[in-house]
């Protein structure tokens, strides 16, 4: 089968044939329909996740697929089931790492990977959904959309009418804006350094856009919205310069959630740190996937979609084939994409 392999850190992915075996105990063989590209894979390509020691390996952690075969012990899904492939652990067996063969040698890989035509996945990394669930919704529920909804709803516990600032209008940022709309955040302020993200942010539901390349974010929102601070700020950039500026904008009861990760060794500065004691207990938190629990939240979000409450219109900005994955990764790296979907067929 064809796969995109991370062979060398900081180099384009290799598109090549990989041999896939049979699913062993607790594993599921899945034919992949579509996969999203997540910022996390950029970090892996850059070797920021301590993964340099494990190359070559496969990548990708949000996908839609069809179960082809189940290994011993698997009871959660059966052949023919449509599944969301996710990196957070759900119900079911936590299997051993799948092993593929690449260039005649064994290649161990993560418990879920999606940048290939087929994948062997741990039972607890798939969640079955109704057959007519759109492929792109399934992929988005594997990471970005579920992370966004979890971040706003579970992690920040955003209340009706609280203000929300989303820093970075990329593949995750646009999902966060949608999530903010769903839970009644107001106003939703989107921040990016590219003016061409203004329209996208507003289409997703942001009421205000700040071009952070043109001035101080705090001054812009005070001048235009009369706001001195924000209740919930979610940073998707992990950029220390941006973090230093936005952390200061947190309200007295505010929650600051870091979703984007700074590079290893980077320092994030807390200017005038005593302002953290000025309110009733401000929160600065790094989230792990918005703390979403796949077995509980994925079926709930699918019902929301089917009921017409949740829509994913406009989230996917590009659709590419597996052969074009390196160009797509570049677009994500340059901050010039919403969510990109790789279509395997």
Residues that bind Zn ion (CB under 5 A): 38, 40, 143
Q: Strand pairing partners for 127?
A: 84
Q: Which is closer to Zn ion, CB of 92 or CB of 171? A: 171
Minimum distance, C-beta of residue 43 to Zn ion, in the bound complex (Å): 10
Minimum distance, C-beta of residue 317 to Zn ion, in the bound complex (Å): 16
Minimum distance, C-beta of residue 61 to Zn ion, in the bound complex (Å): 5
Q: Which is closer to Zn ion, CB of 89 or CB of 244? A: 89
CB 140 within 8 A of CB 312: yes
Minimum distance, C-beta of residue 326 to Zn ion, in the bound complex (Å): 19
The token pair at 184 is 């009644």
Please choose, from the candidates 184, 193, 251, the residue with its C-alpha nearest in 3D space to the C-alpha of residue 217: 193
Q: Which is closer to Zn ion, CB of 174 or CB of 250? A: 174
- DSSP string over 31-89: EEEEEE--HHHHHHHTTTTS-GGG-SEE----EEEEEEEE-TT--S--TT-EEEE-SS-
Q: Which is closer to Zn ion, CB of 133 or CB of 147? A: 147
Burial 127-150 (b: 16+ CB within 10 A, else e): bbbeeebebbbbbbbbbbbbbbbb
The angle, 0 to 180 degrees and rounded to 10, between the axes of the packed helices 217-225 and 240-247 is: 40
Q: Which is closer to Zn ion, CB of 40 or CB of 236? A: 40
The token pair at 61 is 């952690």
Is the bond into 187 cis (omega within 30 degrees of 0)?
Answer: yes
Tally of residues, the chain: 345
Strands (E), the chain: 2-6, 14-17, 27-36, 57-58, 63-70, 82-85, 99-102, 105-108, 118-122, 126-129, 164-167, 188-192, 208-211, 230-235, 250-258, 283-286, 316-321, 339-343
Q: Which is closer to Zn ion, CB of 43 or CB of 336? A: 43
Rg (CA), the chain: 20
CB 37 within 8 A of CB 6: no
Minimum distance, C-beta of residue 146 to Zn ion, in the bound complex (Å): 9
Minimum distance, C-beta of residue 340 to Zn ion, in the bound complex (Å): 12
Q: Which position's Cβ is nearest Zn ion? A: 38
Q: Which is closer to Zn ion, CB of 235 or CB of 245? A: 235
Minimum distance, C-beta of residue 40 to Zn ion, in the bound complex (Å): 4
Q: Which is closer to Zn ion, CB of 98 or CB of 171? A: 171
Minimum distance, C-beta of residue 225 to Zn ion, in the bound complex (Å): 31
């Amino acid at each position: 089968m064809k796969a995109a392999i991370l062979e060398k850190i900081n180099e384009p992915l290799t598109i090549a044939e990989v041999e896939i075996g049979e699913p062993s105990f607790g594993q599921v063989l899945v034919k992949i329909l579509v996969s999203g590209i997540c910022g996390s894979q950029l970090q892996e390509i850059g070797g920021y996740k301590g993964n340099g020691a494990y190359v070559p390996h496969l990548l990708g952690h949000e996908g839609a697929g069809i179960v082809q075969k189940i290994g011993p012990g698997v009871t959660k899904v059966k052949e023919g089931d449509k599944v969301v492939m996710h990196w957070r652990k759900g119900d079911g067996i936590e299997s051993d790492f799948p092993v593929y063969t690449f260039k005649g040698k064994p290649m161990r890989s993560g418990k879920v990977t999606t940048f290939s035509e087929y994948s062997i996945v741990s039972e607890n990394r798939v969640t079955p959904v109704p057959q007519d669930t759109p492929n792109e919704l399934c992929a988005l529920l594997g990471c970005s959309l579920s992370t966004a909804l979890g971040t706003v709803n579970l992690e920040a516990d955003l209340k009706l009418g609280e203000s929300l600032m989303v820093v970075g209008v990329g593949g995750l940022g646009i999902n966060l804006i949608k999530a903010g709309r769903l839970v009644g955040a107001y106003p939703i302020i989107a921040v990016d350094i590219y003016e061409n993200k203004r329209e996208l942010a507003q289409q997703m539901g942001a009421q205000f856009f700040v071009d952070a390349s043109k001035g101080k974010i705090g001054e812009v929102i005070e001048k235009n919205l009369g706001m001195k601070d924000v209740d919930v700020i979610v940073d998707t950039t992990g950029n220390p310069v941006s973090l230093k500026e936005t952390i200061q904008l947190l309200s007295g009861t505010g929650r600051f959630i870091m979703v984007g990760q700074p590079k290893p060794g980077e320092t994030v500065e807390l200017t005038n740190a005593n302002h953290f004691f000025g309110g009733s207990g401000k929160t600065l938190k790094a989230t792990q996937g918005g703390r979403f629990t796949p077995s509980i939240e994925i079926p709930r979000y699918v019902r929301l979609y089917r009921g017409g409450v949740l829509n994913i219109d406009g989230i996917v900005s590009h659709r590419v084939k597996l052969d074009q994955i390196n160009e797509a990764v570049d677009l994500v790296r340059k901050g010039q994409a919403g969510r990109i979907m790789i279509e395997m067929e």
